[in-house]
Structure 1
């Protein structure tokens, strides 16, 4: 079975000379992605790391199905119906993604536990793989720097629909990543910093989970991040 839901042009190792900043955040790739973008397909992975085979007919009719089902804001039992508005889910997603890319090496061991609580296992593995491929933690530690993420616009809802008994949303979130010295504990308004910034786009698929799932920071919202991908801003 294949997993290729997301591809936003995430960058691998550069082939020529690479600046430290490029190593940290990656450079735009000239090669196309390995599959269709999430707004064209919605294939739902689950907590066991497996995914169902694509269902062509259901994919073609996802939004039609949603329109017939309606938006049941009060539903806590039927996981195939939306229980939150797109704006509510988008706000939660923006916060979770911002937290995931705000990295301070001295507190990382504890911070990563909180971050993990917003993911299903497969999505968290994709997130960890991204950090490893980009060498983020090693670069930050060796240079005594930290990374701060803030949203650089409103999250864009690419698709929402029920699939395989669970309701899912796909969002694109623009972020501004700023890289600065660990010794800076608080940034005052108007303060000038010796720092560099980079804009990126994060695409995530989130899905409903039972409200009684344990050890999940996102239990109150009843959603978790199922898939994760990062690419350069367009």
Structure 2
């Protein structure tokens, strides 16, 4: 099949992208590694020995960074609907965390431990239609927040990618009810034209209101 002008332009930009070239040089699985590196260095989010959860982990660059930072005495638990090649220091589960059975299996991997940090670079497959894309995106990050609310230790931190649009202000309200401080971050590796932004909740509050009841989630395609 002949490539469209749009796909050719994207490939040209991707190949010439400085962060793509840096990721290849530094051995990271994607350019997204530099987004996380900038944020965790600015906000001092990861220390040796921590337990970190990565939701929507594939292809694994965020888990890579987290595992390096927590060291041999820490642990990273990662989850994605897509497969992910193994990484040292990372326990990975492939499955759809919108499904209650997958969530229960992943929660069992915690072995009763509370989490120091939840990170999530998750996003649905974008159709290019904001009326479809924004509800899908908000739904996924609501689920990520619900997980963080239930499993972060008091004072723990939460970092998630969001897209600005319908549902974004309401999501910010939920974050502010759950954390002592909420910040927005736009790392240099995030393309200027993208409306993605990273939301950081610092200091999980002990008293919070869960986003979802503990029941089966509805099916929705990424």
Larger radius of gyration: 1
The structure, 1 or 2, with the larger RCO (C-alpha pairs under 8 Å, 6+ apart) is 1
| TM-score under structure 1 length normalisation | 0.20
| TM-score under structure 2 length normalisation | 0.21
